[in-house]
Amino acid sequence: MSVDFILFLVLALAAIATALGMLFSQNTVYSALFLVLNFATVAVFYLLLSAPFIAMSQISVYAGAIMVLFLFVIMLLGANQLKPLQGLPWQRPLAFLLALVLIAESVYLLVFRGQPQGQIPVGNETFGSPQAVGEVLFSQYLLPFEITSIVLLVAMVSAIVLSKKEKGERA
C-alpha cells in the first residue's frame, strides 16, 4: 500500500460520491456545487497523472467558467422543485438497471479484455508541462487550435443571437 494508492482511493471515492450527490440532489444549486467538487477531484487526478497544464485548465475552464455559467442560469431560471413524475414510470428502474449493466460491461471489457496494462511507468518531469504541451499544440496541432478558436467564436455569436429579443417581443 503505497501513498499513491491510498491517495487514489480516497480521491476516487470522493469523485464517485460527489457524482452521486450531483445526481440525486433535489436542489439544483447543490447539484452544481457537487459537480464543482467532482471537477476538483478530477483535476487532482490529472496532477497525479503528470498533466499539470490540463489540471490547471480543468480548474479554470470547467470549474471556473462552465460551472459559473451554470450557476448563473440556475439562478436565472429558479431552482424550483419539479412536479412529481408524470408518465413513463417504467423508465426509472430500467435506467438504473441499464446503468449497472453498463458499468459491469465496461469494467469487464476494459479491464479483463484489454491488453495487460501494467503499471504506469515513471515519466520524466517535463512530461505534461505547459511548455511541452505548448510545443506540440502550436506545431503539430496548429490547425485544430485555430479551428477551435473559430468554434468558440461561433458559440459566442450563437449565444448572443439566441438570446436576442425579437422586434416587439416582450421579455
Partner 1 sequence: MVPVNYYITLSAILFSIGALGVLIRRNPLVIFMSVELMLNSANLAFVTFARMHESLNGQIFVFFIMAVAAAEVAVGLALIVQIFKTKHSINVDEMSSLKG
Partner 2 sequence: MFLSESTITGFFFLAPWLVFAPVVGLLINLVFGHRFSEKAVGAVASLASGTAFVVSVLLAYSVAANHGELVRWRLAEWIHIGTLNLDWTFRVDSLSTTMMLVVSGVGTLIHIYAIGYMHEDVRFKNDVGRFRRFFVFLNLFIAAMMILVSGDSYMMLFVGWEGVGLCSFLLIGFWFEMDTLARPSWANSNAAKKAFIVNRVGDFGFLMAGFLMFWNLGSFQFDAVFKAAPALAETNPGLIVAITLFMLVGVAGKSAQFPLYVWLPDAMAGPTPVSALIHAATMVTAGVYLVTRSAPLYTLVPQAQFIVVMTGAVTALFAATIAVGQYDIKKVLAYSTISQLGFMVAAVGMGAYVAGMFHLITHAFFKALLFLSAGSVILGLERGHHHLAHAHHDEKHGKGVKTKHDDHHEEVFDPGDMRNMGGLRKTMPVTFWLYIIGTLALAGIFPFAGFWSKDEILLDAAKLYPQVYWLLAIAAFFTAFYMGRQIWMVFFGEARHEAAAHAEESPKIITIPLMVLAALSILGGALNLPYVHTLGAWLEHTVEIVEHEAPIAPWLEQSFGGLNIYVALISTVAALLAILISWLIYGRKPLKTGQIDPLKKPLSFIFTGMENKWFVDEIYQTIIINPFVKISQFLADVIDWRFWHDWFHETVIAGTYNWISETALNRYADQKGIDAFANGLGSVTQNISATMRKVQNGFVRSYALSVLLGVVIILGYLLFK
* Interface positions, 74-133, toward partner 1 (CB under 8 A): 74, 76-78, 80, 82-83, 85-87, 91-92, 95-96, 98-100, 102-103, 106-107, 110-111, 114, 117-123, 127-128, 132-133
Least distance in Å: CB of 44 to partner 1? Answer: 11
Binding mask 85-124 for partner 2 (x = CB under 8 A): --xx--x--xx--xx-xx--xx-xx---x-----------
Q: Which of 70, 76, 67, 78 is nearest to 42 (CA)?
A: 67
Kindly tell me which of 93 and 121 has the beta carbon lying closer to partner 2.
Answer: 93
Which residues, including other chains, have CB under 8 Å from residue 90's CB and lie 6 or more apart?
A: none
Asked if residues 50 and 127 have their Cβ atoms less than 8 Å apart, the reply is: yes
Interface residue with partner 1, options 141, 142, 146, 168 (CB under 8 A): 141
Under the binding rule (CB under 8 A), the answer on residue 136 touching partner 1 is: yes
Secondary structure (3-state) at 84: coil
Least distance in Å: CB of 99 to partner 1? Answer: 4
> How would you class 96 by CB atoms within 10 Å of its CB: exposed for 0-12, middle for 13-18, buried for 19 or more?
exposed
In the list partner 2, partner 1, none, the entry touching 113 (Cβ below 5 to 8 angstroms by class) is partner 2
d(Cα 20, Cα 39) in Å, to the nearest integer?
13
Under the binding rule (CB under 8 A), the answer on residue 23 touching partner 2 is: no
Asked if residues 122 and 49 have their Cβ atoms less than 8 Å apart, the reply is: no
Asked if residues 39 and 55 have their Cβ atoms less than 8 Å apart, the reply is: no
460520491: which residue's cell? 17
Least distance in Å: CB of 20 to partner 2? Answer: 18
Secondary structure (3-state) at 88: coil
Under the binding rule (CB under 8 A), the answer on residue 170 touching partner 2 is: no
Q: Which residues bind partner 2 (CB under 8 A)?
A: 87-88, 91, 94-95, 98-99, 101-102, 105-106, 108-109, 113
